[in-house]
Chains A and B, each alone.
Chain A
């Protein structure tokens, strides 16, 4: 549970995690194994279609929540179940404590429920004089240690067998060995007694099926079955978002949930409870069964035009499993109660901005979560939206509003960038890197060399370049530079111009273009994001260009995927959509549109490894093209985890340098292990990060943008 009250405190907490070598190793192993296992378990299923169907079904069900709730209540009550609804967390706890009191229950056993965690139910019950025992092994371990979960599905993933043995030794009063199978036996024995002695069982609910009043619970351990069978009272607690219209919806979610959570085809147990089942100890031979629905902001969220899709979440935890930041810092630093990308979001909606303020900043926007989400939630977009709301609610941090103002004003922004060329002279020592930047300016940036601003930006070179280009060509291409290449890496654009014009493109560079706007959008500066988008759309007259090509994966995916959304409320929406259809990244344009490949290059035996930029491989789904191009020009050397983020993330690397540095080191270790001499990627942000890192590590790899690499090898 992330509890920092200031950004500095949050950085301190992150540092603690980064220094925890057991956690780091455990999460590293998990991240790698998970991806491989997930791929295998989805082999016989069409994941994409299923996820699409789940998303659609959830979107259709959300506006019907009241109707579904009424239906569930009527059907369940017909079958002897008491159905409650609480508007708030406190209200839910009140109901549950009352049920315990009315039925004279003191000893409570629990199977896993994130909703119970959300409302801090155990605390309330203990306050009411009840004894609560978790029976999910992981939950029990962390309960004994008075910790919160670090993963929604594997709550004790941060602990070693030795730590568990110590905890169990303390609990049982007997020294326990750190042998895992023996520790599991200890749990079986200790918890069996608790099951036998309990008078109330509390479970969560994966599904509340409206048309039959059925509760569905998935567990691997079977503790859900025991919890709902042994005690005379059973309370199932469910968020309103767990309501589904019928069994088909539940069966469909089960096809994805366990596969995504733990790479299992299905959880060992799925229990479908329709009405109060038999219980031999009650006078009427039936279980006393209650279902408590928790709203806690859900029905309001269901009406939120932009963020409602967060309620599609089925709690598989996959967004944490693939998150490169989670992998480094673990769940205690990457969530409040809910963990991972969805945790960042739900913390804001369920636990308030006080608890979300710092957390919500800790997303590098690599889109790995969006790529695996069981319900197709665009998690990074919602995170950005929440940042924007925080800015609106709380005002803007000075640095952020300064940058927003500057980026909105192209001339001012570009003047400042030009000025940088002179200002940096004393610190570059004449090299393309900033050498002696005083620490005060960029705290914690020492892990990579930062590039110097180029002697002249691309926009100043354009007039000269354009004169020697052919005036005719079969395709009219507008070049979108993006800030990094215009002012820092103009040579990458020059290389691209060489490649494109050689293949018959007529290129122009509209001078009015400016920053794509992604940095301000990431900071939640809504107005500045709109204005930069409008400026760029106006700069590229649709009558003049067949394609708008950019060498920056982040600019490309942002302009293509988000401009229409950023301008949704504006009169420019249609233009934004037209603009988006013309935007192409350099690699897929070169490969698919221009047909670049074998025969265009002097193929060499040079070993080339590849880093897949987040916004190219996931943002745009471009994966094969850059690798095909490399293969056509040199020898492609594969390396592990090519599609994991390099740690740049734009302003993220400035906000969280300690995390960015770790991501970069891991990335370079992986790339260097390929034995290649050259590292190619297709985003200037990644080039900046990777080249800066290699400069610090002694340049084992020569880092190039794919345009530079291809132009070097062109026939």
Chain B
């Protein structure tokens, strides 16, 4: 059983708000999945981006279904995810994100680590689908175990070093939704990636 650094968890929660990360508590992974599905249910269907200048007009929202993907779940967990989501009327995806570049609704991922001082989630992104899903989705829901939260970036240094040493890899730090302040320094979310990031904090 991994130990939880309660102080680190508290710092993480405190630092999340200023970078517009929404935090919810969840008893376990299934509850986090249910939360992601609920977020998908409640949100407006995503806006589709035309992928070419001469692209056909968008399908009207009534003709399409919401899309939720979960690119980094284990086989067993993905089965559970499918089960929980099967009657919602969503398209559930695990891979093939290149086919959905014009937009999806929700990406659900499990974190590989976290840094409290900056409210950062670490996400192993060697998989192209993980990278694309977490950039194209309008909302990114991350399941993070409290025991994964370390206080500072130096505390994850050994982990990063091992990842980088072992061969090819793509590790991402994600600390909130995609943002810009390039027009008149006004903070605006969702310029390229998610408009919202939610973190389901799992006990354990």
Contacts and interface: CB of A to CB of B under 8 A. Distances in A.
Interface residues of A, number: 70
B180 interface: yes
A contact patch SS: mixed
Interface in A361-376: none
Interface string B137-158: 0000000000000000110010
Contacts of A189: 49-50
B190 interface: yes
A248 B164 CA distance: 12
A268 B179 contact: yes
Interface stretch (A272-280, A411-419, A572-580): A272-280
Contact of A268 (B164, B175, B183): B175
B170 A277 contact: yes
B19 interface: yes
B185 A30 contact: yes
Nearest to A187: B191
A281 interface: yes
A266 B192 contact: no
A220 B181 CA distance: 9
A6 interface: no
B184 A266 contact: no
Contacts of A187: 191
A225 B188 contact: no
A225 B19 CA distance: 19
Given A157-B185, A266-B120, A270-B173, A184 B180 contact: yes
A268 B177 contact: yes
A180 B128 CA distance: 31
Given A188-B190, A193-B52, A265-B118, A141 B182 contact: yes
Interface string A225-261: 1100110000000000000001110010011000000
Interface string A191-208: 111011100000000000
Contacts of A272: 160, 163-164, 169-173
A275 B168 contact: yes
A330 to B, nearest CB: 14
A274 B157 contact: no
A193 B51 contact: yes
Given A192-B101, A212-B165, A274-B169, A160 B181 contact: no
Nearest to A224: B192
B161 A154 contact: no
A214 interface: yes
Contact of A251 (B153, B164, B169): B153
Contacts of B135: 222, 225-226, 229
Contacts of B118: 265-266
Interface stretch (A130-138, A388-396, A432-440, A588-596): A130-138
B113 interface: no
A180 B174 contact: no
Given A192-B49, A225-B193, A277-B168, A220 B179 contact: yes
Given A265-B117, A277-B168, A180 B188 contact: yes
A230 B53 CA distance: 18
B102 interface: yes
B178 interface: yes
A291 B15 CA distance: 35
Interface in A147-201: 154-157, 159-161, 164, 180-181, 183-184, 187-189, 191-193, 195-197
A221 B157 contact: no
Given A156-B183, A195-B101, A135 B192 contact: yes
Q: Of residues A138, A141, A212, which shows the largest number of chain B Cβ atoms within 10 Å of its Cβ?
A: A212
B57 interface: no
Given A220-B180, A226-B135, A254-B153, A276 B168 contact: yes
A133 B113 CA distance: 34
A195 B191 CA distance: 13
Given A221-B179, A222-B178, A278 B192 contact: no
A80 interface: yes
A347 interface: no
A135 B180 CA distance: 12
Nearest to B171: A272
Contact of A278 (B127, B178, B180, B188): B127
A277 B53 contact: no
A268 B174 contact: yes
B98 to A, nearest CB: 6
Given A181-B188, A193-B52, A226-B192, A266 B169 contact: no
Given A135-B192, A137-B180, A160-B184, A273 B15 contact: no
B15 to A, nearest CB: 7
B33 interface: no
B182 A214 contact: no
Nearest to B115: A266
Interface string A274-308: 11111111000010000000000000000000000
A275 B19 CA distance: 30
A271 interface: yes
Contacts of B40: none
B9 to A, nearest CB: 17
Contact of B157 (A222, A247, A264): A247
Given A192-B102, A212-B165, A225-B135, A137 B183 contact: yes
Contacts of A212: 161, 164-165
A196 B100 CA distance: 10
Nearest to A41: B18
B176 A268 contact: yes
Interface in B62-109: 98, 101-103
A453 B179 CA distance: 57
A197 B128 CA distance: 17
B101 A196 contact: yes
Given A221-B193, A273-B170, A274-B168, A248 B179 contact: no
Q: Of residues A154, A188, A255, which shows the largest number of chain B Cβ atoms within 10 Å of its Cβ?
A: A188
Contacts of B180: 137-138, 184, 220-221
A438 B185 CA distance: 45
B192 A221 contact: yes
Contacts of A275: 167-169
B186 interface: yes
A188 B192 CA distance: 5
A200 to B, nearest CB: 16
A269 B50 CA distance: 25
Given A229-B131, A275-B168, 16 more contacts: A79-B167, A137-B191, A160-B184, A180-B186, A184-B188, A192-B51, A193-B52, A212-B164, A220-B179, A225-B125, A264-B19, A266-B118, A267-B175, A268-B19, A268-B176, A272-B160
Please give me the 7 A-B residue pairs with the lowest Cβ-Cβ distance, nearest first: A275-B168, A138-B182, A222-B193, A212-B164, A270-B173, A192-B49, A266-B118
Interface of B: 15, 19, 49-53, 55, 98, 101-103, 117-120, 125-128, 131-132, 135, 153-154, 157, 160-161, 163-165, 167-186, 188, 190-193
Interface of A: 26, 29-30, 33, 44, 79-80, 135-138, 141, 154-157, 159-161, 164, 180-181, 183-184, 187-189, 191-193, 195-197, 209, 212, 214, 220-223, 225-226, 229-230, 246-248, 251, 254-255, 262, 264-281, 286
29 contacts: A26-B184, A44-B117, A79-B168, A137-B183, A156-B182, A161-B184, A197-B52, A212-B161, A220-B178, A220-B179, A220-B181, A221-B180, A221-B193, A222-B178, A222-B192, A225-B135, A226-B135, A229-B131, A230-B101, A269-B173, A271-B125, A272-B160, A272-B163, A274-B167, A274-B169, A277-B125, A277-B126, A277-B168, A286-B168
